[in-house]
Amino acid sequence: MDHPAPLTVSAPWGRLVRGATVALLGFLALLGAQVAQASDARADETPGVAATCSGLVVKPHGYVDKGEVRIVVDGEGQTDGGDDGWTEFKGSFPGVYLFEPDVPHDYTVEVNSYAADSGGRTFTPGIGGDVEVTGPTVPCSPVDVAATTTVCAYDWQAEKQSIDLTMTNLRAHVTYLVEVLHEGDVVTHFQFRNAPTELKTFSLLHAGTDYQVRVTDQTNGVLSRTVDVPVPGCAARAAVTAAPTACTPDGLAGVSVVLADLVPGRDYVVGLARSGGSDDGARSTALHATATATSVVFPGVAAGTYVPSLADADAPRVVRAEPVVVGSCSPSGADPAPGGGAGAAGSGTGSGDGAGDAAGSGDGGAAGTARPSGLNSSAAAAPGAVSAPGGADGSGTASVRPDAATAGDGGPGDDAAAAGAPLAAAGGSAADPLAAPVTADAGSSALGIGLSALAVVALGAAAGCFVVRRRTNGPSED
């Protein structure tokens, strides 16, 4: 029996068939991955619910098997649909609901997925893509304004002062107007649309002027803010006098420093140093002037001679008072004793050196006694200084800040810090949630394209095999 000759394929055609087979297998693997991705799309279902102080954003996406949503704000339905309030969507659903930002709101968002693992059209919160989100919103906070000013050290700087503003708690998509006012009139202004923080400097303002800064939320006046910003006057020479205070029952005295001609709003350093430049017993305290006159008391000062001083913290100005002598106190609280004294009465005159009892001499021969002026061993330095009301003219008081740096010894040539510079300060709402909705139905599209390509490849392979067979089984020669 004759057997048909085996099918043989020439080498070029064999490579072609093998290449087509490998390509077909690779395409089938890729198509399987696309189908698997489409079948897993429901795992990416996201409810996309976000509430802020001014609105509610509902953007569910990834629902390739369709879904429905129902939204209620303050008891009122927000979605168009059937009588039950459900609105059907496929893939994604964009929803933005704005409300008054200065009061709280209650909301409920329900998203029902039609996917099989969510029970189809049955809504069961927490199953598959079925979710329910509820809660109250928190009212927005008014804009916060922090202001600092420059400090004028010399008169020629009086009309070149500045106010530096740091504005925080700004809301996105809101336009703000900031104005600088003096006695109700707008001096300058600036409009901006930024969040959550904005920095702004207003220049060419006047020293010694009380300004107001008003920041207006142009969508809701309740969230606006107005602050007072006084710009201190330029540095000026102040008057400083001092006197010892009465002894206390524990045998201590102090020094009262009386200040006049202060510039309200400026910062000073009040110092007390021993005469002669010694650092022993030196004191200092910071003072922020709120009136033109005040007084500062340094308690618990040891016996000796002291020089009070007043330094402007932002200008090279130091004023020193006449030296003040503090004598020793007795434990009973007697007034401080001076350093020298006269002898006892008699026909002669007593004399003493301040170191103890000294005999007097004179025609009458009566003994004179001098009171000691040296340091009393019972006296001790007491910390700090306190603010006292009144002053040279009794016009006001000033607050004392005990945390300031210690001044120098108060000797000649001891200057305060140079002119100051404006202080810088720095300081919201969420990013814009209104992005374009995401449409997800890529799995079904990829499946259709894949099947079409598969048909083309299969048709090409069949045609190749037919050509090969014809060439192999052509007419035979006898």
Alpha carbon distance 421, 459 (integer Å): 84
Whole-number pLDDT of residue 129: 87
> What is the average pLDDT across 330-339?
58
Bridge partners, residue 401, by sequence: 286
157: which 2 tokens? 């700087």
Average pLDDT, the chain: 73
Confidence band of 85 (pLDDT split at 50, 70, 90): confident
Q: In the predicted model, is pLDDT for residue 158 greater than 50?
A: yes
- What pLDDT score does 27 carry? 55
Say what percent of the chain tops pLDDT 70. 60
* pLDDT for the residue 464: 55
Candidate from 224-233, 257-266, 290-299, 330-339 with smallest mean pLDDT: 330-339
> 156 in helix, strand or coil?
helix
Residue 169 pLDDT exceeds 90:
yes
The residue written with tokens 């142009």 in the block is 218
- Which pLDDT value is given to residue 4? 53
Residue 451 bridge partners (DSSP): none
- Can you tell me the distance from the alpha carbon of 313 to that of 398, in angstroms, rounded to the nearest whole number? 15
pLDDT of residue 94: 87
- pLDDT of 283 strictly over 80: yes
Kindly report, residue by residue over 402-431, the tens digit of the pLDDT. 333 333 343 333 433 333 333 333 333 333
Smallest Cα–Cα separation from 294: which of 244, 257, 268, 319? 257
Q: CB neighbours of 193 closer than 8 A, spacing ≥ 6? A: 173, 174, 175, 176
Contact criterion met (CB below 8 Å) for 438 and 92? yes
pLDDT of amino acid 80: 77
Give the class (CATH, top level) of 45-136.
mainly beta
Q: Which CATH superfamily is domain 144-231 in?
A: Macroglobulin (MG2) domain (2.60.40.1930)
pLDDT at 159 over 90: yes
Average pLDDT of the segment spanning 354-367: 37
pLDDT confidence band for 279 (50 / 70 / 90): confident
Domains 45-136 and 239-339+374-401 share a fold: yes
Higher-pLDDT residue of 336 and 251 is 251
For 45, 192, 222, 441, the CA distances from 40, given in Å and listed in that order, are: 10, 46, 49, 12
Report residue 332's pLDDT band, with 50, 70 and 90 as the boundaries.
low
| Angle, vertex CA 16, rays to CA 14 and CA 22, nearest 5 | 105
Q: Where in 140-252 does DSSP place strands (E)?
A: 144-149, 161-168, 176-182, 185-192, 198-205, 209-217, 225-231, 239-244
* Mean pLDDT across 325-344: 60
Q: Say what the pLDDT of residue 24 is.
A: 59
- Split at pLDDT 50, 70, 90, the class of 208 is very high
Q: Distance between CA atoms of 198 and 190, rounded to whole angstroms?
A: 11
* Residue range 33-65, pLDDT digits in tens: 444 443 443 557 888 899 999 999 999 988 888
Task: Classify 454 as helix, strand or coil.
Answer: helix
Structural tokens at position 344 = 């006892």
Task: Report the candidate in 212, 201, 301 with the shortest Cα–Cα distance to residue 254.
Answer: 301
What count of other Cβ atoms lies within 10 Å of the Cβ of residue 144? 15
Residue 26 phi, psi dihedral angles, 5° rounding:
-65, -40
Amino acid 92: pLDDT: 87
Quick one: pLDDT at residue 467?
45
Alpha carbons 263 and 251: distance in angstroms, whole number? 36
Predicted pLDDT at 290: 95
Judge whether residue 399 has pLDDT over 70.
no
The pLDDT value recorded for residue 2 is 53
Which residues are paired to 399 by β-bridges?
Answer: 288
Q: How far is CA 9 from CA 458, 460, 466, 475, in A?
A: 19, 17, 12, 17
Residue with tokens 């003040």: 324
Q: Is the pLDDT confidence value at 346 over 60?
A: no
Mean pLDDT over 343-365 rounds to: 38
Question: CA angle, 422 as apex, 421 and 424 as ends, to 5°?
Answer: 130
- Angstrom distance (rounded) from CA 339 to CA 353: 9
- Average pLDDT in the 247-258 region? 89
Tokens for 192, please give them: 């901006």
Query: What residue spans define the domains of the chain?
Result: 11-39+445-463, 45-136, 144-231, 239-339+374-401
Which of 7-16, 112-121, 143-152, 411-420 has maximum average pLDDT? 143-152
Whether 226 contacts 144, CB under 8 Å = no
The sheet carrying 49-51 orders its strands as 49-51, 55-58, 95-98
Alpha helices in 67-127 (DSSP H): none
The DSSP output letter for 389 is: S
Q: Residue 313: is its pLDDT beyond 90?
A: yes
pLDDT the model gives residue 457: 52
Of residues 66 and 336, more confidence is placed in 66
Note the pLDDT tens digit of each residue in 443-459. 444 445 555 555 555 55
Q: Which fold has domain 239-339+374-401?
A: Immunoglobulin-like (2.60.40)
- Inform me whether the pLDDT recorded for 108 exceeds 90: yes
pLDDT score recorded for residue 97:
92
DSSP string, 336-349: PBPS--PPPSSSEE
Which pLDDT score, from 0 to 100, does residue 318 have?
A: 95
The whole-number pLDDT of residue 441 equals 45
Q: By three-state DSSP, how is residue 218 classified?
A: coil
pLDDT at 199 over 70: yes
